Structure 1
Amino acid sequence: MRLPATVATERLTLDLILPDEAARMVAATPDGRDPRWHPDYPRQDDRDAASMVKGSDAGAGWGPRHVTRTFDGLVFGSIGFFGPPAPADDGVDEAEIGYGLVADARGRGVATEAVRALLAQADALGVRVRASVLPDNAASIRVLAKCGFTELRGANEDGELVMARPLRSPG
C-alpha cells in the first residue's frame, strides 16, 4: 500500500519530507534552514514529525510531508501519517494523521484542504483514518469535523481526544 510522494490540491503541494530535509529540521540549526521555509518553520511539532523519517522509503508514502503553497513554494507546515496502516481491533486497516501550520497560516482553510487531500488517498486504498487532538484545540477539532471525523473513541494516555473518520468507499 503506497501513497504518492507528492499530493497536490488547488493551493497546496504535500511532498514527503526526505531524509536529508528531516535531518536538517531535527537539527534546527540556522545553517540548515532551507530558504523555501517560512521563518517560523519548522515548529517543534514539525521537528518531532521529521524525526520519524527513517531511510529513503519514508514508510511507502505514509510519513510526514511539507505543506507548501503552490504559488510561491513557501513551506509553512507539516502533515502526514504516523506510519503505515495497521489492522485495528475490528480488522480494518487504520492510520493516524497529524498536521500543523505556522501561526500566520491558520484560519484560512489550509489545514482542512491538506487533510482532505490525504484522506482521499487513504480512501482510495480502503484505509480508515484517526486523529488525536487536545480537547482545548477547538480549531483542530473543527478541521476534523469538517473532514468527516465523527467517531469519538475517548482519550489516549496523553489526554488527547481520539477521533476517527468512518471508512469511505473508494471513488
Structure 2
Amino acid sequence: MTDTTGASSASAAGVRTPRLSLVLWDAATVADIKAGRRRPEWHADFPREDDEGAATLWRDGDPWGPRSIVSLKQQLVIGSIGFFGPPEEADDGVAEVEVGYGLVPAARGYGLASEALGALLARADGAGVRVRASIAPVNAASLRVAAKAGFTEVRGSTEDGEMVLVRRVPASLG
C-alpha cells in the first residue's frame, strides 16, 4: 500500500519530527521524478534539480537512500534529504556516509532543513556512522545548517569545488 507521499506504509513511519515526516522513496516516486511526472502532494517547485540527481542514487529497500521531506502542516513534499547509499569504511576504518538535503525556496528560512537533518543524523548516530556533506562555499544557508548540526571538520574539497565537511559520531555514542 502506498501513502500520499509515495512510500510504503512500513517505511513511512520511519522518521518524524514535530513538523516533518521523512519518507523513504519507493520505485514509483523515483520513476515519477525521473520522468518529470507531477504529483498533487508535491509542492509546485518539487522536484528540484538536486532531487532529480538524488533519484539516480535510489536503490530499492535501502534505508540509507533518499527521502521526501513532507510538511505535516501542509501535507506537501517540500524537499528531499538522504544519504548517498549505505555506509562504507573510510581510510581510518570508521563507517562513513555522505548526506545531502534541500528544500524548495518557499520552505527555506524556517529551520526545516536543520530539523530534517537533525532527525536523519540521529539515525546515523544510532548506527555509529560518521557523516560528511559536500557544500558549495557560496551556499551560506546550507553551511549554516551543517554547522548547526555539528559539521565542524573540513576535509578539503571535491572536484567541483564543494567543501567537504565532516560530523563525527558524538563521543557518547562512538
TM-score by length of 2: 0.89
1:126-147 CA-to-partner distances (Å, cap 9, x unmatched) read: 0000000001100000000000
Partner of residue 124, structure 2: 122
Contact 1:66 1:79 in 2 (8 A): yes
**Mapping 1:91-130, distance limit 5 Å:** 91-130=93-132
* 1:44 aligns with one of 45, 49, 54: 49
The offset of 1:101, in angstroms, is 0.5
Distance 1:40 1:132 in 2: 23
The offset of 1:72, in angstroms, is 2.9
Unaligned runs of 5+ in 1: none
**Mapping 1:63-78, distance limit 5 Å:** 63-78=65-80
Partner of residue 90, structure 1: 92
Contact 1:95 1:130 in 2 (8 A): yes
What one-letter code is carried by the residue in structure 1 that aligns with 2:19?
R
Partner of residue 27, structure 1: 35
The offset of 1:156, in angstroms, is 1.1
The offset of 1:26, in angstroms, is 1.0
- Give the total of aligned pairs: 162
The offset of 1:36, in angstroms, is 0.3
What one-letter code is carried by the residue in structure 2 that aligns with 1:109?
G
| Runs of 4+ more than 6 Å apart | none
Distance 1:73 1:96 in 2: 27
What one-letter code is carried by the residue in structure 2 that aligns with 1:18?
D
Q: For 2:161, what is the secondary structure of its paired residue? A: coil
**Mapping 1:48-63, distance limit 5 Å:** 48-54=53-59, 56-57=60-61, 59=62, 61-63=63-65
**Mapping 1:91-170, distance limit 5 Å:** 91-168=93-170, 169-170=172-173
Partner of residue 19, structure 2: 11
The offset of 1:48, in angstroms, is 0.9
Distance 1:170 1:153 in 2: 22
The offset of 1:170, in angstroms, is 3.2
1:118-163 CA-to-partner distances (Å, cap 9, x unmatched) read: 0001000100000000011000000000000000011111110000
Unaligned runs of 5+ in 2: 1-9
Contact 1:23 1:51 in 2 (8 A): no
Contact 1:62 1:84 in 2 (8 A): yes
Contact 1:14 1:114 in 2 (8 A): yes
1:74-125 CA-to-partner distances (Å, cap 9, x unmatched) read: 1010000000000111100000000011011101100000000000010001
